[in-house]
Structure 1
Amino acid sequence: MEFAVDENDLKAAGAELFEDGGRKGVRIHGWLIESRRHSILTSSNVEEWEQKLHTSHLPEMVFGENTLILKHLSSGTKIHFNAFDALRGWKQEALPPVEVPAAAQWKFRCKPSEQVILDYDYTFTTPYCGSGTIEIDKDLNASEISEETSNLHWEDCKEQIDLVSLASKEPILFYDEVVLYEDELADNGVSLLTVKVRVMPSSWFLLLRFWLRVDGVLIRLRDTRMHCVFGGSTNPVILRESCWRESTFQALSAKGTPFDPAVYNDPSIISQRLPIVKQMTQNLVISPKL
């Protein structure tokens, strides 16, 4: 998504854009919001990640240095998104492999001289909904592998993100989309984890999305949305909503949806047709440093 930011909008919001190599972002109302995008893991990095994750399987394309960082400067609260923590979630959840027709099974991960038995979750489905820490005067180096997913405290709540206010025509001061990992499942579908952020004068909003389509078999969508309204002198409150949806192609077809996989290229269009299997809302109240 390319867009031009109006300098008057930035000035009116008290915001400042910055860009340096693979880093870009915005400073606004005590927040530093930054995205970093780089190339996929090198072969040596792949070996390192496999050792640390205790696996011999990784997605075809892992963007190990890609990250989105949102830091509240006065409290040191940092929310960030990275591929390693997401894959650690995949490894821990350890879902059984999605069953595919016998003919298709030969296509998955197959080598010319052997048939690979699928005894792991080759879809790389993850329960990941972000990482976080309280950081004091340090800068997160995205190339370093995180040792702790989160020490932030999220509490269940009944509040919901105000999607109506987000639909208002407020100027966008900063936007980016960061791909964390992707796999085309040997041309039998797609497994994709991305995070998008947009910053407006009144708030920031992000969507972390895991999108899976195993052609002819299964569709899975796991969305995590976060929203923070800038609160002036008060400590900001962040809402986080997670919604997991999934369905088989067979179940969708029984409800009249075409069986053709081409119909399911856009998760935003098909999402409302997928039944919800898990949903929760939480909040994170940021406290000042002691």
Structure 2
Amino acid sequence: MIFGDNHLTLHHTPTAYTLTFTPEPALDLVDKTGSTGLLKVHYATAWSATREKTSAGIKEVVKPFDWSYTTSYRGTETPGLGGQKLQRDDKARIPVELLQRRDPILFADEVVLYESELDDNGVSVLTVKVRVMEQRMLVLCRFFLRLDNVLVRVRDTRVYVDFGEERVVREYTAREGEFGEVKKKLYMEGLMPDQITIAFRDANQIAHLLPVVEHEVESVCLEGETGQTQEGR
């Protein structure tokens, strides 16, 4: 299911710098060639063996396509009038301590860009959340994949905006782990079977259990007479 009208747009008025999150470019990054290695459901081997016995002499051409809809989408960036754009910055960081303060939340929302139940074999979903305070903003674009009894994958893009400094930091973190290994870790945390089932439906409960496979930080300073950041849906 594609929610084509859903989007989140961050726009810096003085420089016209824009960072937008929409479904189409996210889906465009899904592997259409099979070059990254296609995932299979846990019963695929047994199913294939049975099919080979009952379909002798039948040949089938399969077009490779990542049916898990995995994407590395980090948002669509439009540079500012002065050429401002995100650049890799290994020294930049998102100030978690400031985000943990109990500052009043002026605006908060969440939109789903697309999702699939993978033919009842799990879930694949891309969402965007935004939280705006008086002095800062945080955006989380999260891709969550749970392929039952096979794999769990979380790809997070966090965008931090400091209104006073007119600075944007974008952090991308990809995590991935085997379904069985994640299940063992949940047992070690003391969860009961029914609690584990619920945990597998919530990326927040299992993301920290997954090994990091990719991490990158970028930043940009937006220069203008006044800093105004607007959010849209």
Normalising by structure 1, report the TM-score: 0.64
Instruction: Kindly indicate whether residue 204 of structure 2 is the aligned counterpart of residue 268 of structure 1.
Output: yes
Q: Distance in 1 between the 2:204 and 2:33 partners?
A: 25
Residues 1-290 of structure 1 aligned to structure 2 (within 5 Å): 61-91=1-31, 95-102=36-43, 119-134=64-79, 152-231=85-164, 236-253=166-183, 255=185, 257=187, 261-288=197-224
Q: Verify the 8 A CA contact 1:188 1:214 in the aligned structure 2.
A: yes
Q: Verify the 8 A CA contact 2:41 2:121 in the aligned structure 1.
A: no
Identical positions, percent: 37
- Give ranges in structure 1 of 5+ residues lacking alignment: 1-60, 107-114, 137-150
Report the CA distance between 1:158 and its aligned residue.
1.2
Alignment deviations for residues 170-223 of structure 1 (CA, whole Å, 9 cap, x no partner):
011111101100001111110000000011001111100000000111000000
Find the residue that maps to 2:111 and give its secondary structure.
strand
Q: Distance in 2 between the 1:82 and 1:70 partners?
A: 12
| Stretch moving more, 67-76 or 279-288 | 279-288
Q: Verify the 8 A CA contact 1:215 1:261 in the aligned structure 2.
A: no
Q: AA paired with 1:127?
A: S
Q: AA paired with 2:211?
A: P
Q: AA paired with 2:22?
A: N
Cα distance change of structure 1 residues 170 and 93 upon mapping to structure 2, 3 Å threshold: farther
Question: Once superposed, what is the RMSD of the aligned Cα atoms?
Answer: 2.7
Count of residue correspondences = 204
Q: Distance in 2 between the 1:102 and 1:211 partners?
A: 21
Q: Verify the 8 A CA contact 2:11 2:19 in the aligned structure 1.
A: yes
Q: Distance in 1 between the 2:66 and 2:198 partners?
A: 23
Normalising by structure 2, report the TM-score: 0.78
- Give ranges in structure 2 of 5+ residues lacking alignment: 48-59, 226-233
Q: Verify the 8 A CA contact 1:93 1:127 in the aligned structure 2.
A: no
Q: Distance in 2 between the 1:105 and 1:174 partners?
A: 50
Find the residue that maps to 1:211 and give its secondary structure.
strand
Q: Verify the 8 A CA contact 1:227 1:239 in the aligned structure 2.
A: yes
Q: Verify the 8 A CA contact 1:96 1:120 in the aligned structure 2.
A: no
Q: Verify the 8 A CA contact 2:42 2:148 in the aligned structure 1.
A: no
Q: Distance in 1 between the 2:118 and 2:133 partners?
A: 37
Report the CA distance between 1:64 and its aligned residue.
1.2
Q: Distance in 2 between the 1:250 and 1:218 partners?
A: 8
Report the CA distance between 1:118 and its aligned residue.
7.8
Q: Distance in 1 between the 2:136 and 2:110 partners?
A: 17
Q: Distance in 1 between the 2:220 and 2:91 partners?
A: 13
Q: AA paired with 1:237?
A: R
Cα distance change of structure 1 residues 264 and 118 upon mapping to structure 2, 3 Å threshold: farther
Q: Which has the higher contact order (CA 8 A, sep 6+)?
A: 2
Q: AA paired with 2:9?
A: I
Q: Distance in 2 between the 1:102 and 1:92 partners?
A: 23
Alignment deviations for residues 212-266 of structure 1 (CA, whole Å, 9 cap, x no partner):
00011100000010111111xx5x1111111110101133345564886543111
Q: Distance in 1 between the 2:212 and 2:33 partners?
A: 19
